[in-house]
Structure 1
Amino acid sequence: MMNIMTSSNLTVAIAVPLEAELVESIRAADPAVTVLYEPELLPPERFPADHAGDPAFRRSEAQEDRYWEMLRSADVLYGFPNENAAGLAAIAASGKVQWIQAMAAGAGGAVKAANLSAAELQRLTVTSSAGVHALPLAEFALMGVLNGFKRTAELAANQSARHWPEVRTPVRLVSGSNLVVTGLGEIGVETARLARTMGMNVSGTKRRVTPIDGVDRVTDTAGLPGLLAAADAVVNTLPGTPYTEKLFNADVFAAMKPGTVFVNVGRGSVVDEDALLEALDNGQVSYACLDVFAVEPLPVTSPLWAHPNVLVSPHSSALSSAENRLIAGRFIENLGRLRAGAPLLHVVDPVHFY
């Protein structure tokens, strides 16, 4: 990207729905940068941070031509075209765009699905929104842990049945319990921080093992079974890569002590769902809070829907009303780094796709 870093004619195109005031904040960040934004070519948001927009939206043939002409004229895109892998593949083939700011924290999945050539992967830089979603995901993860420890699924079932049990069931204390976080990146570290405020002891895994403040023990994936033996709860934040595919299999669930609470805010492909169901049925896992699944939307035939100790969330735990503002701020920061010739933050690895 050396040829666009110092260019005085850098052009940015907004490829996804975005509030006009945030577009103006991008323009104001560097008046020398041309920002292309044609809201009539973009589907309206149905809710804050609805990056794909209303699926009923259709461009006319002339609008479709204008949309792609705008994107192909840009050096930098804010969002994937049409917010999907096919749009990414199409713009990569055009040859001009050299940097795309993705809306997703796990943008590597879309980059992989686009099946870009080695030359395209080398030329095109994709940055993710990793870190922007860290706090809402961490809060959701801790909600899942609390649900499991405080038996809220049973409370909800009893309330629905208007049943007041004769024998009250004790709940578990979060304070003093042991949490294992798989994937101590920004989301995992934020999860660990919140867990510590509730008195939990935290350990976890990291691909490159380095000490982390407040985390008692850090290992690589090979050391995970040793951590699980003492865990009361496990939170997965790992992305979906060939190296994490079905990492949580029957052997890993068997390494947990009975009654472990399991939360997944990473990617569904990291979990063997058949093995998870078996662990739920035999008591290795007492409760599972799941925001992501191997197939999304979760098929109506999946037994996870009806399992009494499973909470199904429709991949929505990262959403917050502040998301668009935070991603725009991240983009502005990276735009400044680009103009200064500094490395961009949160670049998607073109080999491991995370």
Structure 2
Amino acid sequence: MGIAAETLTVGVATPLSEELCALIESLEPRVQLIRDQSLLPPMRFTADYAGDPDFRRTPQQQSQFMQLLNSADALYGIPDLSTPLLKEVVQQNDGLRWVQTMAAGGGAQIREAGFTRHELDRVAFTTSAGVHGGPLAEFALFGLLAASKSLPRLLRQSQAHEWSERWPMAQLSDQTILLLGLGGIGSALAEKLSALGVHVIGMSRRGETVPGVAEIIEPHNLPAAIQRADAIVVSLPGTPRTEKLVDAEFLTMVKPGVTVVNVGRGSVIDEQALIAALEDGRVGFAALDVVETEPLVESSPLWEMDNVLLSPHTAALSYAQEEQIARLFARNASAFLDGRALRNVVDTVHFY
């Protein structure tokens, strides 16, 4: 969705440094970023789009913030990462035509906002998909290597000062790895795994060819692929169609000791079923950057399992992320202004 226009007024709704504001405006001079840094929460770390949780606007500042957002043709970010506030802006600002979310999985935020069909048709919502692919692919590879090279045992023995007898370690080059999701993350991982000699199977509804994937399977052939896989990597978005795809029935089909990695959404895996499979050995190791409920509840058995590697949904963050999203936005802004199709538009039927 693009609308040919001479200029584009963009309300900065999320923390964005003046340096990156200047970068966007230099890359696309037809963009005017309207912002007031005093109205935005300071970042605590790179790509901290929520900002300092102690930040508060006065009533006057909140009114100024809303006026700024309601005067924009487009928004850079979801204001305060608040879907109710985003919905309020969309309802009040009849001129709003485009919202750029910071998350690769921004579709879930758009679904959560509960927009009407008219609002979804009027405003284009785009995500930062592709920016996070490299970091998440590396974390997935790290999880696969951690399982193959006995990381839990090495850590236990190191902590116990135990120099044991030798044992053979698995090699990724001998393995068949199933990728559930062949978007930016899955595609980046497939190339890395293929370079290591891994036989990569990828599930796709569209059957497209992906570099590094030796076999493309359709969903109806998934059971046979599950049984062959030495490891399974999930990078699927969270949608009603993918919810608890990896469930108890799925986990009855795996090879004993299979590795499971999740760098997609926690909702794709039935967590209780995964815990049961980790306890009885059907799953030998799990590397999880996401879980069903975040933060992970204190009572979860996952905390205590030494065959689980937990990351607090941080594997996507990199020092380059803020600039990469800014550059992506500038490219999309050019497309918008020229009337060309935007990249990473949220599917407002399935919300991914």
The TM-score normalised by the length of structure 1 is 0.96
Distance in 1 (CA, whole Å) between partners of 2:44 and 2:162 is 39
Distance in 2 (CA, whole Å) between partners of 1:104 and 1:135 is 14
Matched residue count: 351
- 1:8 is displaced (CA, Å) by 2.8
Does the CA-based 8 Å contact 1:185-1:206 persist in structure 2? no
1:110 matches 2:103: no
Are the structure 2 counterparts of residues 7 and 213 from structure 1 closer, same or farther at C-alpha, using a change threshold of 3 Å?
closer
- 1:9 is displaced (CA, Å) by 4.4
Q: Tell me the residue number matched to 1:18.
A: 16
Distance in 1 (CA, whole Å) between partners of 2:279 and 2:265 is 22
Q: Tell me the residue number matched to 1:120.
A: 119
Distance in 1 (CA, whole Å) between partners of 2:7 and 2:350 is 33
Distance in 2 (CA, whole Å) between partners of 1:292 and 1:184 is 18
1:149 matches 2:159: no
Distance in 2 (CA, whole Å) between partners of 1:252 and 1:300 is 27
- 1:221 is displaced (CA, Å) by 2.4
Q: Tell me the residue number matched to 1:280.
A: 278
Q: Tell me the residue number matched to 2:40.
A: 42
Distance in 2 (CA, whole Å) between partners of 1:127 and 1:32 is 19
Q: Tell me the residue number matched to 1:252.
A: 250
Does the CA-based 8 Å contact 2:108-2:351 persist in structure 1? yes
- 1:214 is displaced (CA, Å) by 2.6
Find the residue that maps to 2:304 and give its secondary structure. Answer: coil
Q: Tell me the residue number matched to 1:70.
A: 68
Task: Give % identity.
Answer: 43
Distance in 2 (CA, whole Å) between partners of 1:259 and 1:300 is 26
Does the CA-based 8 Å contact 2:187-2:211 persist in structure 1? no
The structure 1 residue matched to 2:294, chosen from 293, 296, 301, is 296
- 1:10 is displaced (CA, Å) by 2.4
Distance in 2 (CA, whole Å) between partners of 1:222 and 1:78 is 40
Find the residue that maps to 1:90 and give its secondary structure. Answer: helix
Distance in 1 (CA, whole Å) between partners of 2:236 and 2:52 is 29
Find the residue that maps to 1:229 and give its secondary structure. Answer: helix
Q: Tell me the residue number matched to 1:270.
A: 268
Distance in 1 (CA, whole Å) between partners of 2:71 and 2:160 is 60
Q: How does 1:169-318 map to 2 (within 5 A)?
A: 169-318=167-316
- 1:34 is displaced (CA, Å) by 2.1
Give the 4+ runs in structure 1 shifted more than 3 A: none
The TM-score normalised by the length of structure 2 is 0.97
Distance in 1 (CA, whole Å) between partners of 2:234 and 2:88 is 33
TM-superposition CA deviations, 1:279-336 (whole Å, max 9, x none): 1112111100000011011111111111110011100000000000000010000001
- 1:215 is displaced (CA, Å) by 1.1
Q: Tell me the residue number matched to 2:58.
A: 60
Does the CA-based 8 Å contact 2:7-2:337 persist in structure 1? no
- 1:158 is displaced (CA, Å) by 2.0
Say which is worse superposed, 206-215 or 68-77, in terms of deviation. 206-215
Find the residue that maps to 1:305 and give its secondary structure. Answer: helix
Find the residue that maps to 2:187 and give its secondary structure. Answer: helix
Q: Tell me the residue number matched to 2:136.
A: 137
RMSD (CA atoms) = 1.3
What is the one-letter code of the residue matched to 2:249?
Answer: D
Does the CA-based 8 Å contact 2:5-2:338 persist in structure 1? no
Distance in 2 (CA, whole Å) between partners of 1:87 and 1:298 is 26
Find the residue that maps to 1:304 and give its secondary structure. Answer: helix
- 1:211 is displaced (CA, Å) by 2.3
Does the CA-based 8 Å contact 2:6-2:337 persist in structure 1? no
